[in-house]
Amino acid sequence: MMRIRVLLFAGIATTIGAEFVDLDLSPDSTVNDVVEHLGRNFPASQALLSRSRVAINRAYVSLETTVNAGDEVAVIPPVSGG
C-alpha cells in the first residue's frame, strides 16, 4: 500500500469539508481509482467530481494516469467567474 495526499479546492473542499485527504492505495492505482475512492467515501461530492480535473505534480492528467508514492495529487473543480 502507498499513502497519497489529495489536495482539494473550491467546491470539492467545501463539499468534503477538508482541504486535503490522505488515501491508502495499491501501488498500481490510477487517477480514476482516486476519484472513485473519493466518490464512495464522500457521496455528496460525486456530481462535482465527475466534472473536475485532476493534476499530478501540477500538470493535468487523464483518468488512466498511474499515481505514484510521493506525487502531489490535486482535484480541481470547474470554477466560474469573470
Tens digits of residue pLDDT in 7-48: 999 999 999 999 999 999 999 999 999 999 999 999 999 999
Cell 472513485 sits on residue: 36
DSSP string, 25-63: E-TT-BHHHHHHHHHHH-GGGHHHHTT-EEEETTEEE-T
Per-residue pLDDT at 9: 95
Cα separation of 13 and 77, whole Å? Answer: 9
Check whether 80 has a pLDDT greater than 70. Answer: no
Cell 462535482 sits on residue: 48
Best CATH choice for the domain 2-76 from the list 3.40.50.300, 3.20.20.70, 3.40.50.2300, 3.10.20.30: 3.10.20.30
Spatial neighbors of 42 by CB under 8 A, at least 6 apart, are: 15, 16
> Rounded to two decimals, what is the model's pTM?
0.90
